Amino acid sequence: MDSVVEERRRSRKYDILLLGATGYTGSLTAEHIVRHLPFDLKWAIAGRSKSKLESLASKLKELDPERIQPDIEVVKFDDPRQLGSVVKNSKVCISVVLYWQVGEVVVKSCVENGTDYIDVAGDIPLLRTFIDQYHEAALDARIACSPDRKIFSPGPQRESWRRRADVSGGTASSMLAESTYDSQSLKEAKEPWVLSPIKRSQTSAPTNFLNMRKDPTLGLLSRSSFSAEQNRALVHRTWALLQDTDQAYGPNFEYNEYIKVSSAVGGILRLLTLVLVRGALKFGPSRRLLGLVLPKPGEGPDVEKERASRIKFEAIATADTGSNPVPRAYASFSYPSGSYHTTALFLAQGAASLLYTRNLANHVPGGCLTPAFLGEDLWKRLQNAGAVLRVNLL
Ligand SMILES: NC(=O)c1ccc[n+]([C@@H]2O[C@H](COP(=O)([O-])OP(=O)(O)OC[C@H]3O[C@@H](n4cnc5c(N)ncnc54)[C@H](OP(=O)(O)O)[C@@H]3O)[C@@H](O)[C@H]2O)c1
């Protein structure tokens, strides 16, 4: 680990600060920490409500009374000095607050106070703000800021599919908030290279007029995933940040993401859902109606049902060597729990990687990075916590 970072961390009280611990995703992340991170971890659960934090703390104690229990930190997000005093006492901060409301003040505080930071923000205009405002400062101050979305990273061209379960209140709130950006920001957010410092034009893999394509290994794929554009923009940022390094993905790299469907009818229904929801988010009255039916803050899919489901992502990497047949590789990631438990896995294990190893790709000192920068160390930690990763040549 970087000696400057080690020195900076020496006198800090908390190994990990979990901000927004009282939310749906925050509670799952706290639970994952209790179940999987070392018992002597010194950590704090933080948020704005003391009573909610106390209730969470007693649940966590029941889960494992033997380990060091987290401290409780009540923070005022509108008071930078008070927030900063807690952040400054922490080596790594996990932020699972409602990003569109208080996400930026947390990033700012981490950059100002020299605290490595990880979140799961997916709102592209907001991520652009984080990058534009804080990348250089984070790089100079040797702070790693990483939106840790669940994304594959090895190999050249790739495509993947994912299944999405019900949404949490925070996700619903973010979708509603995101749709109110001005039309120019929304248009730019769809651009494949919007978060990449190097701009290119995408020559994406062909889909038919129903936004579907057939892959010989994965089967029928539909370009109807809600998060495909966000994930693509982040993977393309990784591509640009690693260009000209020995981990470069190659000059023609591009990433596309799909949902796997069992039939053309299934694909059409998926596409219709995407178009209808996006349409409804655009207009005030239908947006308000959606706000009534979608989960409220703090709510989310049934935790036990989520825990009992299984998530799987698959990816095909296609080499652009010009040889025939085209070399292809297959990779899959699976985890014996649902998407929100997987989010908690990535947040907690990503924070552990920053805390215990902090071996950033290409030895960059810091910056607004992506999960790929945690590299092999993150993969090992995910696998030790129950994730299964398979990679083979086709
Ligand atoms: N990319 C992904 O895969 C992914 C997955 C899950 C979640 N997310 C994102 O993660 C965030 C949290 O989602 P969630 O469903 O866990 O939300 P949630 O259950 O509503 O929890 C939000 C947390 O933020 C706090 N908070 C909300 N508004 C605040 C404000 N104005 N000031 C200070 N704190 C505030 C809440 O504190 P109180 O308890 O005091 O209200 C709570 O701790 C959302 O932005 C969501 O989009 C992303």
226 shares a domain with 112: no
Same domain, 257 and 300: yes
Q: Is residue 316 included in any domain, yes or no?
A: no
Decide if 122 is inside a domain.
yes
**What residue numbers bound the domain in which 225 lies?**
157-306
Amino acid 116 reads: D
Which residue matches tokens 């690693």?
242
Task: Reply yes or no: is the peptide bond before residue 325 cis, omega within 30 of 0.
Answer: yes
Q: Which residues touch 303 (CB under 8 Å, ≥6 apart)?
A: 28
**Is any atom of ligand 1 closer than 6 Å to the C-beta of 238?**
no
DSSP-based three-state secondary structure for 176: helix
pLDDT reported for residue 235: 94
Residue 10 sits in the same domain as residue 120: yes
Q: Is 77 in the pocket of ligand 1 (CB under 6 A)?
A: yes
Query: Which one-letter DSSP state was computed for residue 211?
Result: S
- What total number of domains does the chain contain? 2
Inter-axis angle of helices 339-356 and 375-384, nearest 10: 130
pLDDT tens-digit profile, the chain (394 residues): 788 899 999 999 999 999 999 999 999 999 999 999 999 999 999 999 999 999 999 999 999 999 999 999 999 999 999 999 999 999 999 999 999 999 999 999 999 999 999 999 989 999 999 999 999 999 988 888 877 665 544 333 333 433 333 789 999 888 888 888 898 998 999 999 999 999 998 777 788 988 999 999 999 999 888 888 999 999 999 999 999 999 999 998 999 999 999 999 999 998 998 889 888 888 888 888 888 888 988 999 999 998 999 999 999 999 888 888 889 999 999 999 999 999 999 999 999 999 999 999 999 999 999 999 999 999 999 999 999 999 999 9
* 138 and 169 assigned to the same domain: no
Same domain for 283 and 165: yes
Predicted pLDDT at 201: 84
Does any ligand 1 atom lie closer than 6 A to the CB of residue 99? yes
130, 163: one domain: no
For ligand 1, is residue 168 a contact (CB within 6 Å)? yes
Residues 11 and 145 in one domain: yes
Residue 295 and residue 361 in one domain = no
Are 267 and 292 in the same domain? yes
Instruction: Please report whether residue 312 resides in a domain.
Output: no
| Separation of CA 121 and ligand 1 centre (Å) | 10
Pocket test for ligand 1, best of 19, 95, 96 (most atoms within 8 A of CB): 96
Q: Where are the extended beta strands (E) located within the chain? A: 14-19, 43-47, 71-74, 90-95, 116-119, 144-147, 157-161, 212-215, 219-222, 255-260, 311-318, 328-335, 367-368, 388-393
Contact between 379 and 202 (Cβ < 8 Å): no
Helix (H) or strand (E) holding 377: helix 375-384
Strands 255-260 and 157-161: parallel
Bridging pattern class, strands 116-119 and 144-147? parallel
Domain C-terminal end among 285, 306, 327: 306
* Residue owning the nearest CA to atom 21 of ligand 1: 23
- Examine the domain organization and report whether 144 and 186 are in the same domain: no
What's the rounded Cα separation, in Å, for the pair 44 and 30?
10
Q: Do residues 194 and 301 both lie within one domain?
A: yes
- Cβ(301) – ligand 1 distance below 6 Å: no
Q: What is the pLDDT of residue 278?
A: 86
CATH of the domain at 46: 3.40.50.720
